[in-house]
Structure 1
């Protein structure tokens, strides 16, 4: 049966030995939820485009958002630092955006920081003093003071979830790895525009920049202590 040690192997790691066990310290680990914002759940006004994106909307509403809600509940219960990243510009006309967000096409993003479109979806709202970094870049590390925040708090390992797997998630993961943070990506709490893009990007980044794990494997990576998922009230 496939597990995080054997799944999502690219050509580079097809024959590599299995990695060592991951042990995450609660006090030195953060959960970073990336870019799950209202704008990405709004169907396109063009019916053809809306239909083309319907599998993405379905994955977001039935898998990614519910799984991130579980992740947040679990992390908060375990005392793991919870953080969010979102795309938002400081100006109304977006003149402070990076070049990639000014280019025509899908990546053209004009999301003023106070607009409803730029807010994190209500199901995953930050609580208390949980940190939200605002970026106009793909990488949450490159375009913010997140690096300083993580160092100040004493974080060494980051659990990453969110969208899009092949864009902002991947860029953030690579930046974190280059800064020598340990990174774990939760594959069933992420999405790309298509499942094919999602899975291919996970293969590309796995074992080089991060380790890709499933939701149900994550509690077992914590240093010994009670780490079971919260009990489902409906069970």
Structure 2
């Protein structure tokens, strides 16, 4: 199924097909969101680790390899590659947003220099790449990413990463509100479950972004 007809929500079930997408490498950036070591580590109990196995499998077999290909394609075409990662500036995490201090899954204490907070080795940034450190879900909230994109003349942003229904979605919505064109790469992204992943893509598709596949977005770049 083409990106033009996939992931249609109730709102857009009968909408006209969108126009073809063409991305100018000089005004396009790839944003890789939160693909960090901590999310591939085993959980506190064997039972919880087992519950997360489908996510681990999707990350290792699909998301990380595909994102590595996407990064390589973008670099080859002159597209700016930018990373965002969750990390706090204070070791005790006092600078984190409330959402990262609440008990439960979203509780995150990742000091910026600690290994578990780094981007996974397969996707590691190069020396000249920009990495945004954030203590919020959206990569634009409380960071200088908005200013960076404008300073570099970026008009369109390709998004990949985790979690689709949390930081990816929040970032996409923020980018759309700032009038950037946004493309989310389905097979370079993941949520905890495929149900959550697909549902969130339906919600954000065609209003905040266009949801596409890896081979499609590469074609958009020419």
Q: Normalised by the shorter chain, which TM-score bucket?
A: over 0.9
Contact 2:70–2:218 under 8 Å retained in 1:
no
- Deviation string, structure 1 residues 185-209 (Cα, Å, up to 9, x no partner): 0000000000000000000000000
Deviation at 1:128, TM superposition (A): 2.8
Structure 2 residue 111 is matched with structure 1 residue 100: no
Instruction: Name the counterpart of 2:39.
Output: 40
TM-score (norm 1): 0.94
SS of corresponding position for 2:146: helix
Structure 2 Cα separation of the partners of residues 113 and 103 of structure 1: 19
Moved over 3 A (4+): none
Cα distance in 2 for residues equivalent to 1:130 and 1:74: 15
**Aligned residue in 2 for 1:232:** none
Deviations 1:63-113 (A, max 9, x none): 000001001100000000000000000011100000000000000000000
Instruction: Give the alignment's TM-score, normalised by structure 2.
Output: 0.99
**Residue 126 (str. 1) matches residue 113 (str. 2):** no
2:9 aligned residue: 10
> 1:142 and 1:95 mapped to 2: Cα distance?
17
Q: Which residue of 1 aligns with 2:21?
A: 22
How does 1:1-235 map onto structure 2 within 5 Å?
2-222=1-221, 227=222
Q: Could you list the runs of 5+ residues in structure 2 that have no partner in the other structure?
A: none
Contact 2:29 2:80 in 1 (8 A): yes
Aligned residue for 1:180, secondary structure, equals: coil
Cα-Cα RMSD: 0.6
Alpha-carbon separation, structure 1, partners of 2:101 and 2:129: 29
- Cα distance in structure 2, aligned partners of 1:88 and 1:179: 24
Runs of 5+ unmatched residues, structure 1: 228-235
Measured in 2, the distance between the counterparts of 1:147 and 1:216 equals 27
Q: 2:159 is paired with a residue of what secondary structure? A: strand
Partner of 1:230: none
